[in-house]
Structure 1
Amino acid sequence: MNRLFEEFLLFKAENDSSSDRTVKAYRDILVRFENWLVSGDPLKQTGDTLLAFTGPYLHKHLQLAPVSRTPYVACVREFYRWASAVRHLIGKDPAQAVPYPRRPGKLPRVLSLDNAERLMWAPDFGSFEGVRDAAMLSLLIGCGLRVGGLVSLNESHLTAQLVDNEPRMAIKPTEKGAKERLIPVPREAELLLRVYLEHPDLQTIERETANSDRVLFVTTRNRRCPPHEYYGEKRRFSPRGVLAMIQRHGKRA
C-alpha cells in the first residue's frame, strides 16, 4: 500500500481515536482506490478524478448503491483533508468537490428500498446533527427498529457478535413488552454509527445516565429545558422528535 495511505491510517488510529473496525474499513477502501489509480500519485489527483472514482467507477464497475458508496466518499474526503490540513502536502483540498451521494425525487407513502436509501442519505453530513440523523435512520431502516426502541438505546446496548467468523456490531434494544432481542447491524449502518460515535461534537455533550450508562442518540436543543439541566436523560430523543426528523428529511430526499 502507498506509504501516504499507511501514514493516514496510522493517524486515524492514534490521533483521531478511530476504532480498529473503522481503520480496517478505510484500509479496504484505500486499497480499491490505489488499484484504481494504478501508478498514479494520489497527491496529484483533481476533483474531477476523485468524482470519477466515487461516482461512475463505484456505481458502474462495482455496482455499489448510494448507501454503499458513502463510506468511500467519507474516506477519500478525510484522506485529502489530512494531506492538506495536517501534513500540508498539498494546497487546495481536491476532495472538497466530492459530494456525498444523494438521489432526487419525492418519497411515496410506501417506502421502497431505493426510497429508503434516499431517506438515509438525505441528512447533511457536514454537520453533527446530519451525521446523527443518518445513523438513526440507518438503524431504523437497516435493523427494523421501532421508534421507541431507537430512542431508548444507550451505549451499553451496543455489542458484538460473530458473523461468518468475523466480529460484527449488534444491538440489544428493549422494545414493546420489555422484550430484548439481539440484532446484527448492517455494515453501512455500522459505519455511520461509528462516524457518529467518533464525532468530536458528541465528545463535548454530557449524556451520562443515573446508572453510569450514556444516552446513545442526543438532541442539541431543547427550548423547554434550562441550560443547567440539559444533560443526561434530558438529552434523549423523544419518539415525537424522531418522527419530526423523518418528516423533515423525507421532504429533502
Structure 2
Amino acid sequence: MPSHDEFHFVHSSEQSTLEGAIEGGQKDTHTLSPGYGVRHRGFAGNFLESKGFGWLMEEDDTENQQQKPLLEELDIDLKDIYYKLRCVLFPLPQLGFNRKIVRDNPDFWGPLVVILLYSLVSLYGQFTVVSWIITIWVFGSLIIFLLARVLGGEVTYSQCLGVIGYSVLPLVIMASIMPLVQSFSIVSTLFKLIGVVWAAYSAGSLLCVQELQQKRPLLLYPVFLLYIYFFSLYTGA
C-alpha cells in the first residue's frame, strides 16, 4: 500500500493561468460601456435576475415585428368590396364587370355592411328592425342555398350569403329615395318594384350557375319573394 507521503498536490501554472483568465473575464464584463449589449435593469430587474426570474423582464421583439394592419387581420379588402358593390349595382353583362367574383370569392364583411346600411335606413326609431333584417338575411340565404342544392346547383352557403347580402344594395338606394317620392303613390310603388326587381335580378343571375340554367324560374321566384320581404320590413307593409 502506498504511504500518505506519496500523495501531495501541486499547483500548476496552467491552473493559475486559467483562474486569472476567468477573473480577468469577470472584471472585463463589469467594465463594458453601455451600448454593447448590457441592459440596465434597475433595482427591480437586478433583484428578479438574482432570484432566477430575470426572464420576466425580457421583451419579445418577434411579436412587434409580426403585427399586421387591422384590415389585414380582419381579412377586409376594401378594393374587393368596392368592386363587388359595382358588380351588384350594374348587373348587365354588357357593362364588362366580372360579376362571377361576387359568387366565386365570397366574403362576410361586405354583405354585412350592406345589410347594416339597409337596417339603418329602415330604422325609423325602431332598433328591433336591425335584428329582423339580419335574421332574414342569414336564414333567407340558408333557404335559397337549400333550394339551389336541391335543384342541382353547385353553390355553397357562404356564396349565397354573400350574393344575397350584396344584392340588398339596390334596396338601400331605393329606400333612400323613397322619402322624396312618398307623397306620389304611383311613383312610390314604381320605385319599390324597380328596387325589388333590380335586387332579385342581380342575385338570381349570380346564383343561377350552369347547372341551374334550365331551372332559373324555380330559383328566381323565391329570391324575388325574399327581397319583397326585405322591402316590407322597410315600408312596414
Going by fraction, where is helix more abundant, 1 or 2? Answer: 2
Q: TM-score, normalised by structure 1?
A: 0.21
* Structure showing greater Rg: 2
Q: Which has the higher contact order (CA 8 A, sep 6+)?
A: 2
More strand by share: 1
